[in-house]
Amino acid sequence: MKQINVLLIEDNPGDAELTRQSLEASKLAVKLSVVDDGEKGLKYLRRAAPYQKAERPDLVLLDLNLPKLPGGEVLRAMKADKDLRGIPVVILTTSEEEAEISRCYAEGANCYVVKPVDFASFMSIVGAIEEFWFSVVKLADGRKAGRKASGGAAR
């Protein structure tokens, strides 16, 4: 069974930790990588220093409100790059602004999720994202994620 690689581009350490905990509770073999700003996100995706050995993510969870390079710019750069545009991007942010949601979809986001404010809802949302993208959706490389024998996300 192939491990699922998820890249979280998130500057809030609390939200990053909640995402990690949610994925660790999963039945899937998930490796979560986290970067805390948009510039690092693009460097990771392009395998630029210091991320030359980074594995290509199967899914990107992207916050919009990021330092150095906003999430919208990261999304546009990914969708303009022939090597990155096939990676599904889930916007995971606090903004409920209709114009922002429309803009993200127009620029190639695959999904837009508003972060819930309470712990249980946050865990549930991340679990639903994971279930949908790795158990329901057929990925571009023709595989579906396999189940792992023992629970927990890989680090």
Say what the pTM is: 0.84
Task: Return the CA Rg of the chain.
Answer: 14
Per-residue pLDDT, 140 = 64
The answer on pLDDT for 155 being more than 80 is no
Give the range of the structural domain holding residue 22, as residue numbers without chain letter.
4-136
Q: Return the H-helix or E-strand segment holding 93.
A: strand 89-93
Q: What is the total count of domains within the chain?
A: 1
For range 44-73, the mean pLDDT: 94
- Residue 145 covered by a domain: no
The answer on pLDDT for 82 being more than 80 is yes
Residue 151's pLDDT band (cuts 50, 70, 90): very low
Per-residue pLDDT, 139 = 62
> For residue 73, what is the domain's CATH number?
3.40.50.2300
Cβ count near 129 (within 10 Å): 20
- Tokens (6 digits) for 77: 């750069």
